[in-house]
Amino acid sequence: MDIIEQRLGVPPHIAGPAATFAFFAFFLIKKMGLFTNTNHFPVEGKTILITGASEGMGLAAAILLAKKGASLILVSRNVGRLEEALVKVTAAARSPSKQRFTYISADVSEPNYADSVIAQAIAWNAGAAPDIVWCIAGLSSPMLWADPTNDSIAATRRNMDVNFFGSAEMSRAILKEWLAPENKPKDTGVIGQKPEPKHIVFTASMLALFAIVGYGPYTPSKWALRGLADTLNMELRMYPDHPVKIHVVYPGTITSPGLERENKTKPQITLELEKEEPAESPETVAERAVKGLEKGQYNVTVSTLGDLMRCGILGGSERNNWVWDTVVGWVVPVIYFFVIRIMNAQVAGWARVNGHPHVKKAAA
């Protein structure tokens, strides 16, 4: 430190902490990807299977990935809509001669659906499993949990079957393929260089980071995905020769056909609370999600509010960036001190004005 003092006239008690700070600031900026922009999610020449790919965010993601040069397998139930989606996705191809597109009709809520989808995908793909699987199929049935006119338990089971089990079964089916000893990826030929990882992407919701009234049947299915993802993220360390990366995307409100359906039953207070987060188009959400994946993020958010929420719940979950996530994670409780009070007051205020939620008001 003497030399610093001589040259710059800075006393050691300042130079020491300043140097430490400069080191961490550099580390932070470097880790934030300002100096490097390695693409951690290259898709050109890869085969990607997407569930829920016929509408909304799934279709937008499929079109975007086709533009980036991927071959695609679209999965959902309705064949008519899949046909239409296939035309749009095929038209978006970057190099039509090198990319291939198909669809598989399947209901992700059916027990054991995924093994047969993966078998069909492999048969179509000349014996090779898809390189990336992105589970986007989902639904939401907003309602007040305790309103006796709602069957919230039946709705919760349905949401779990589609949103959680639909993704959980798919992840197990593809991992059985990828992790089988005989499917060990070939060496790259470069010493010390690992083969490119496969990717499983789950699609949760900002509600898996911050729950609000009215989404009782839905939110738990998305929290469950987080729990599964964190578990798999640790389990995959047992297969160093079969690299696989797990990711979870947390969209806010998406202006999709699904949103139109769910808004028909959405409690008024829920509509009011969720206005805090502006709705985005499926294309914008898909684009921001892919950007996060390209940066190598584990928990991928698509808005500033979403990212604050992510840093607010990390617990034992993987960090996108230790320095950033930790520092923001210290700040979020201060924001929550106010936000939670305000939101709870808003809900109580709604009831003061509108009366008991189960008592239907007489038409004016």
Ligand X SMILES: NC(=O)C1=CN([C@@H]2O[C@H](COP(=O)(O)OP(=O)(O)OC[C@H]3O[C@@H](n4cnc5c(N)ncnc54)[C@H](OP(=O)(O)O)[C@@H]3O)[C@@H](O)[C@H]2O)C=CC1
Ligand Y SMILES: CCCCCCCCCCCCCCCC(=O)[C@@H](N)CO
- 77 sits near ligand X (criterion: CB under 6 A): yes
| φ, ψ (nearest 5 deg) of residue 254 | -115, 130
Residues 239, 89: Cα–Cα separation, whole Å: 34
Long-range contacts from 55-58, C-beta under 8 angstroms, 24+ separation: 55/81, 55/85, 55/256, 55/257, 55/258, 56/136, 56/254, 56/256, 56/257, 56/258, 56/259, 56/282, 57/136, 57/203, 57/251, 57/254, 57/256, 57/282, 57/285, 57/286, 57/289, 58/134, 58/136, 58/137
Residue 199 beta carbon to ligand X: minimum distance, rounded to whole angstroms: 17
**Is 222 one of the annotated active-site residues of the chain?**
yes
- 305 sits near ligand Y (criterion: CB under 6 A): yes
Q: Which is nearer to ligand X, 196 or 277 (CB)?
A: 277
Residues 32, 311: Cα–Cα separation, whole Å: 15
- Total residues contacting ligand Y by CB under 6 A comes to 21
- 52 sits near ligand X (criterion: CB under 6 A): yes
- Which one of the listed residues 103, 113, 218, 298 is annotated catalytic? 218
Helix 56-67 vs helix 282-294: crossing angle, to nearest 10: 50
Residues 348, 326: Cα–Cα separation, whole Å: 33
220 binds, among ligand Y, ligand X, none (CB under 5 to 8 A by kind): none
- 141 sits near ligand X (criterion: CB under 6 A): no
Residue 33 beta carbon to ligand Y: minimum distance, rounded to whole angstroms: 23
With tokens 């338990």, the residue in question is 153
- Say if CB 141 and CB 154 are below 8 A apart: no
- 272 sits near ligand Y (criterion: CB under 6 A): no
- 294 sits near ligand X (criterion: CB under 6 A): no
- 308 sits near ligand Y (criterion: CB under 6 A): yes
303 binds, among ligand X, ligand Y, none (CB under 5 to 8 A by kind): none
The site map against ligand X for 21-50 (x = CB under 6 A) is ------------------------------
Active-site residues, by number, are 218, 222
Binding interface with ligand Y (CB under 6 A):
140, 205-207, 210, 212, 218, 252-253, 258-259, 262, 273-274, 276-277, 305, 308-309, 335, 339
